[in-house]
Copies of this chain bind each other. A is one copy, B any other.
Amino acid sequence: MTTQTYDVAGIGNAIVDVLTQSEDSFLEEHGLIKGAMTLVDETTAERLYGAMGSGIECSGGSAANTIAGIASLGGRGAFVGKVREDQLGQIFAHDIRALGVAFTTAPAKTGPSTARCMIMVTPDAQRTMQTYLGASVELGPEDVDAEIIAAAQMTYLEGYLWDRPAAKQAFILAATLAHEAGNKVALSLSDPFCVDRHREDFLDLLAGHVDILFANEQEILSLYQVDSFEEAVDQVRGHCEIAALTRSEKGSIVINGEKTHEVPAEPVRHVVDTTGAGDSYAAGFLYGLCYGFPPPACARIGGISAAEIIGHFGARPEIPLSQLMDEKLG
């Protein structure tokens, strides 16, 4: 379908996740906002890690998860993000390369250690995230490989990047390079609190730099500061080529010019852990677009991809998504 080297190039924070099962009382005791991603400094990260239960570690990061999903679907991905030259950095680099993703960003030789995200999964399968950005904050415009961005049909950016000035510059540079090469730019709003921190910037971005927008219900309500989903849908229409709005078990809504498509969610037998569900939805959707599927089919591929992630601990697929698509879409 595409003659370019990559289907999707992702730019984001390179993070190793530390997942643990937690009770709601743990969140309350430590003043954590359930369902949200909060940035923490090293001291807070260490205190919280000391208090939390034993965990498992897996490579994560929002855009990195999406690119891992693209690879799992059989697509060709590239990733730009910063790790430190340390054990967790080696794990992150190994995991993304082992999936066949091009990952060439030079690791930092000094400075803070590889980023970690402590994820508390409560019995309702909700995840609450506390992120120590570590080395990932060192990402700047100098790390954006112009050849990779030009060679990718789509460039995908996570909203979390906006939390750091240098990453923000990398973000705008990448979007500009992508458009100059005739490619598309996609953005995920990442988190309602992230939207709250950067609302004006995101609205400007949408007006000038973004073709495809991903957001969940809370994020899109926060972006337009409206109370009803219908109002948010009216607002986003025309602000980008395609908006894919996810609504958990209610499925997703795709706004594409004048058209609106409602696509039901894929049933999940056991909802275990929602970490990475949105990232995986974006992977399926972008994969579909790259291979010429119409938007409602893209939303369906996204929904199946998200359902795989929700059925187990961790944000990366356990079953190759390409195999799932063969089974579900035949």
In the complex, the answer to whether A50 meets B86 with C-beta atoms within 8 Å is no
Q: Which of A93-101, A193-201, A236-244, A303-311 touches B?
A: A93-101
A44: Cβ under 8 A from any B Cβ: no
* B56 and A56 within 8 A (CB): yes
A283-330, CB < 8 A from B: 314, 316, 318
Give residues of chain A (33-89) contacting chain B, Cβ–Cβ below 8 Å: 49-50, 52-59, 68, 86-88
The minimal Cβ–Cβ distance linking A71 to chain B, given in whole angstroms, is 9
B56 touches A98 (CB 8 A): no
The reply to whether A95 and B316 contact each other, CB–CB distance below 8 Å, is no
Given the known interface contacts A21-B318, A318-B21, the answer about A55 and B95 at a Cβ–Cβ threshold of 8 Å is yes
Across the interface, do B58 and A98 meet the contact criterion of CB distance under 8 Å?
A: no
A98 to B18, CA, bound (A): 14
User: Can you tell how many copies of this chain the complex includes?
Assistant: 2
B56 touches A58 (CB 8 A): yes
B91 and A52 form a contact (CB under 8 A): no
Minimum C-beta distance from A297 to chain B (A) = 28
**CB pair B49 A94 closer than 8 Å:** yes
Q: Tell yes or no: A113 within 8 A of B by CB.
A: yes
Contact at B318–A94, with CB atoms within 8 Å? no
Query: Which 7 A-B pairs rank lowest in CB-CB distance, beginning with the nearest?
Result: A54-B95, A57-B57, A87-B87, A54-B98, A56-B58, A53-B98, A87-B88
A residues whose Cβ falls under 8 Å from a Cβ of B: 18, 21, 49-50, 52-59, 68, 86-88, 91, 94-96, 98-99, 113-114, 314, 316, 318
Q: List 19 A-B contacts (CB under 8 A).
A: A21-B318, A49-B94, A50-B94, A52-B98, A53-B99, A54-B59, A54-B95, A54-B96, A54-B316, A55-B58, A55-B94, A56-B56, A56-B57, A56-B314, A57-B57, A57-B91, A86-B87, A87-B87, A87-B113
